[in-house]
Chains A and B, each alone.
Chain A
Amino acid sequence: MYRQKIGVSVSNGYKIPTAELVPILKKIGFDAISPSWEGADLGAIVRAAREVDITLESLHAPYHSSDDIWSPNATVGDAFLEKLLASLADAKRYAISTLVVHACELPDENFPVTEEGLCRFDALVEKAEAYGIRIALENTGGAHLLSALMARYRDKAVVGFCFDSGHEMCYSHGEDLLALYGDRLLVTHLNDNLGVGAFDGEISWCDDLHLLPYDGVLDWNDIVTRLRRARPLACINLEVGINSRPARHENDKYMRLSLEEYFTEAYNRACRVAYRYAK
């Protein structure tokens, strides 16, 4: 849109191969995509993106079992590091400037910040520096792990923050993470949800709905205000989900739409946010 680029994260489980979706996204109006490394035919996606001249803004590193990187067990921890390094190598191969990395999954506050884990992240960051690729650490659960990493790499220009607006709401009880890390913002994962479902505040990945903006409880005026105070972004990126979580139905309405209609609606909502961000 005028004066503001808009991107969307793409996964690999659509009704059509992601590479075939890319020209549709371009036509709808998106300026950029951010593929997910796990299970992707990344070569095909990158070719499709180049054909239609859509920017590859970031690559999402593998994140299933990402707690493993903190394991004192070398076999477990190093295996996960190898996967991260493989995605980093692909980012270099395809000239994708930013790799989004989870600090962990959903551990509680007693989950230890291990020396082994820090060393593995050091190795990742060192390689990213060598490649000239930025690492965007994303907020999930386990705020203390993200905090330890953001503190450790405070002076590393190659390490920044990926702000997931939905995770902030459903995993961090709405704590203002942009106040903490906004000056190092590199990527956004903008999405909506209904907050923490449990009255006692216990968090669950089933609350992480990745609804379109304005379909949940988030205060988008507040989000935009905080984004405008943070490091400016050339591209505002959405990360939204078509499918409902198990035994939930919030996203069912998206599943009934064609992919064109769904992503058009996603683009409309993104414009609503981006227009307020850019003006």
Chain B
Amino acid sequence: MYQQKIGISVANTYSMPTPELIPHLKQIGFDAISPEWSKAYPLAPVAEAAKKAGLILQSLHAPYTGSADLWSEDEAVSAPALADVLASLEDAKTYGIPVLVVHAWIGFGCSFVPTEAGFRNYDAIVAKAKEYGIRIALENTEGEEYLFALLDRYVGNDTVGYCWDSGHEMCYNHSKDLLALYGDRLIMTHLNDNLGIRRFDGDTFWHDDLHLLPYDGIADWDYNIARLRASRPMEILNFELNIGSKPNRHENDKYMRLPIVEYFTEAYSRACRVAYRYAK
């Protein structure tokens, strides 16, 4: 849109192959995409389709199912997880993607037990990223203490910045104002909506992480935009949204009934509503 670029994170499991979706995303109006790295889905067709359509590859999402394993003292556990993240970093280099989004943790009901091994693994990722000229965007998820520890560790290191997931902040971080803490290091956004933490006692669970379109949940977007405007300026505002509902939930069912192009058109409309207010 005028004076503000808009990006969208893309997964690998839509009703059509992601490379086929990409020209539609361009036609709808998106300026950039951020694919998700997966062993099962090679990145090359996605990168080629983006290049052909004239879409920017803004970031690559590193694998995150092994994020807790990275903190393991047992190298047999941590090494495969580290290898996967490094493989995604290698792909980011191959396809000229300037940012790799990395989670600091995965898992619920766990204590914060940072390890020297964990820090060493993240140091290895950051060192290789620096060598490649790629920035690591550490994203807020559950287990925020791990994120805080890493962001503290890399203060002053230009290779490392922050990826703000607006939905995670509500459903995992009890709406703590993370942009107040790390907005000056913001290099990526995952903007999405949800209904906050469902449980009255505040226990968090991944089923609350709905990734709804902006304005379909309870997020105060005026507040979010004001905080984004007070943060490091973003050339591209990126949205990370889900078509499918979480298990035994139905909030996203309405998206599944739409033709996929119409869903992303609606996503773009909501993104414009945020981006217009961000840019003006």
Q: Assess whether A176 is interfacial by the CB under 8 Å rule.
A: no
Tell me whether A194 and B272 are in contact in the complex, defined as CB-CB below 8 angstroms, given that A201-B2, A250-B265 are known contacts: yes
Q: Assess whether B139 is interfacial by the CB under 8 Å rule.
A: no
Q: For the complex, would chain A's binding face be called helix, strand, loop or mixed by DSSP majority?
A: loop
Q: Assess whether A215 is interfacial by the CB under 8 Å rule.
A: yes
Tell me whether A199 and B265 are in contact in the complex, defined as CB-CB below 8 angstroms, given that A217-B273, A249-B28 are known contacts: no
What's the nearest-Cβ distance from chain B to residue A149, in Å?
26
Q: Is the pair B2, A198 in contact by a Cβ cutoff of 8 Å?
A: yes
Cβ proximity bits A197-221 to B, threshold 8 Å, 1 near / 0 not: 1111100000000000001110100
Interface positions of B from 25 to 47, Cβ below 8 Å from A? 27-29, 31
Which residues of chain B have C-beta atoms less than 8 A from A252's C-beta? 259, 262, 265
Closest A residue to B275 using CB positions: A217
Interface positions of A from 162 to 205, Cβ below 8 Å from B? 173-174, 194-201
Closest A residue to B261 using CB positions: A249
Interface positions of A from 48 to 87, Cβ below 8 Å from B? none
Closest A residue to B279 using CB positions: A195
The distance in angstroms between the C-alpha atoms of A181 and B29, with both chains bound, is: 32
Tell me whether A249 and B262 are in contact in the complex, defined as CB-CB below 8 angstroms, given that A199-B31, A215-B269 are known contacts: yes
Closest A residue to B272 using CB positions: A194
What's the nearest-Cβ distance from chain A to residue B263, in Å?
10
The distance in angstroms between the C-alpha atoms of A219 and B31, with both chains bound, is: 23
The distance in angstroms between the C-alpha atoms of A174 and B265, with both chains bound, is: 22
Q: Assess whether A253 is interfacial by the CB under 8 Å rule.
A: yes
Q: Assess whether B14 is interfacial by the CB under 8 Å rule.
A: no
Q: Is the pair B31, A194 in contact by a Cβ cutoff of 8 Å?
A: no
Tell me whether A217 and B272 are in contact in the complex, defined as CB-CB below 8 angstroms, given that A194-B1, A195-B2, A201-B3 are known contacts: yes
Tell me whether A199 and B5 are in contact in the complex, defined as CB-CB below 8 angstroms, given that A249-B261, A250-B269, A252-B265 are known contacts: yes
Q: Assess whether A248 is interfacial by the CB under 8 Å rule.
A: yes
The distance in angstroms between the C-alpha atoms of A202 and B276, with both chains bound, is: 16
Interface positions of A from 126 to 181, Cβ below 8 Å from B? 173-174
Which residues of chain B have C-beta atoms less than 8 A from A16's C-beta? none
Q: Is the pair B29, A194 in contact by a Cβ cutoff of 8 Å?
A: yes
Q: Assess whether B251 is interfacial by the CB under 8 Å rule.
A: no
The distance in angstroms between the C-alpha atoms of A248 and B26, with both chains bound, is: 11
What's the nearest-Cβ distance from chain A to residue B71, in Å?
41
Tell me whether A253 and B266 are in contact in the complex, defined as CB-CB below 8 angstroms, given that A196-B1, A198-B2, A201-B3 are known contacts: yes
Q: Is the pair A194, B269 in contact by a Cβ cutoff of 8 Å?
A: yes
Q: Is the pair B5, A195 in contact by a Cβ cutoff of 8 Å?
A: no
Give the A-binding residues of B (Cβ under 8 A).
1-5, 27-29, 31, 259, 261-262, 265-266, 268-269, 272-273, 276-277, 280
